[in-house]
Amino acid sequence: MLGVARRAIVPRLDPSRATPGVAVAAGVAASILLGLSGAADSVSMIFRNTMLQASVPDAMRGRLQGLFTVVVTGGPRVGDLYVGVLSVTALLWMPPPLGGWSSSSRRGSSCGCSEGCGV
C-alpha cells in the first residue's frame, strides 16, 4: 500500500528521456548562482568590516577586530560540530527502526524472512 501511495506522489523519472542539454543548463545555472552568492558574501564582508572599523573607537578597534575574527572563523566550526553530532546520531539511531520497518513490509512476513513462515 505504501508503494502505491509513493508512486502516486513521486513519479518515476525515465532516464532514457533525459537529455545532456538539461544537465548542462542546470550546471551553468548552478555556477551562475554560486558566483552570485559568492559576490553577495564578499559585499556583506566589506560592509561588516566597514561598520566595525567606523563605529568603534580607536582604542578598542584591535580588541574588537580580534573578537570579530574569532566569531567569524569560529562560528562555522561550531555549526560543523553540531551537524556532525546530529548526523552521527541519526546514522546510529535511525537505520534500525526504518530498516526493520521497510524490510518486514516488503517481504510479506512479520518476522522478515523470505520463506514466509508467518511468525
pLDDT tens figures, 39-86: 999 999 999 999 988 999 989 999 999 999 898 889 889 999 999 999
Give the mean model confidence (pLDDT) for residues 102-115: 54
| pLDDT score, position 11 | 57
Comparing 31 with 3, the larger pLDDT belongs to 31
Per-residue 3-state assignment (H helix, E strand, C coil) for the chain: CHHHHHHHHCCCCCHHHCCHHHHHHHHHHHHHHHHHHHHHHHHHHHHHHHHHHHHCCCCCHHHHHHHHHHHHHHHHHHHHHHHHHHHHHHHHHCHHHHHHHHHHHHHCCCCCCCCCCCC
What pTM was computed for the model? 0.49
**pLDDT score at 115:** 59
Per-residue pLDDT at 116:
55
